[in-house]
Amino acid sequence: MIKLFKVKEKQRAENANGMSTVKKQSAGELRLHRDISELNLPKTCSVSFPNGKDDLMNFEVTIRPDEGYYLGGTFVFSFQVPPVYPHEPPKVKCKTKVYHPNIDLEGNVCLNILREDWKPVLNQPNYEDPLNQDAAAVLRDNPKMFESNVRRAMAGGYVGQTLFPRCM
């Protein structure tokens, strides 16, 4: 479970004059605070706040898979959460260039629940929505070649005409 700080403590910041200032949090910030505090991430994932923990609406998740095609890699995703969350989905970008059916070479993540199928109560993504059509076709038609392409990309090599930086 991720332990942040209590909302009340955050809202009661002392200014230089010793006067108490209260920053009113939006419903989205309160919901996100609850959602983040309830996370029970596996040891392969971590959350960081590049702008400090006062900015919960912008954070990064680092994933280090311990199984599957991406075993041994490190992948960083940035999240920008809108003020009207959970009624609108967060914007998610993969900051690590990766050969993946659901992530294009610019880091756009294609998960339909982050677009038209978003609902405030969802907690499981749908991975059946390819964005990188070439990677999806290779995975569908030749899983061994797909695995080879993933390994080559993660090691810092070319897949087709695209050079991937090392992420292992």
**What domains sit in the chain, N to C, each tagged with a CATH number?**
40-163 (3.10.110.10)
23's tokens: 């920053």
Asked whether the CA dihedral 137, 102, 67, 77 is positive or negative, the reply is positive
pLDDT of res. 129 = 64
Residue with tokens 């059509």: 133
Q: Picking from 38-52, 96-110, 123-137, which range would have the lowest pLDDT averaged per residue?
A: 123-137
Q: Is the pLDDT of residue 122 over 80?
A: no
pLDDT of res. 44 = 93
Q: Are 77 and 92 in contact (CB under 8 A)?
A: yes
pLDDT of res. 29 = 85
At 80-106, the pLDDT tens digits run 999 888 888 889 999 999 999 889 999
Q: Are 64 and 43 in contact (CB under 8 A)?
A: no
pLDDT of res. 21 = 54
Q: Is 20 helix (H, G, I), strand (E, B) or coil?
A: strand
Mean pLDDT value of segment 43-72: 92
CA angle 166, 127, 66 (to 5 degrees): 45
Q: Which residues are catalytic?
A: 110
- pTM of the entire predicted model: 0.77
Annotate 101-155 with DSSP letters as a single string.
Answer: TTB-TT-BB--GGGTTT--TT--S------SSHHHHHHHHH-HHHHHHHHHHHHT
pLDDT of res. 76 = 98
Q: Is the pLDDT of residue 140 over 80?
A: yes
Element (H or E) spanning 36, and its range?
A: helix 27-37
Mean pLDDT value of segment 130-146: 89
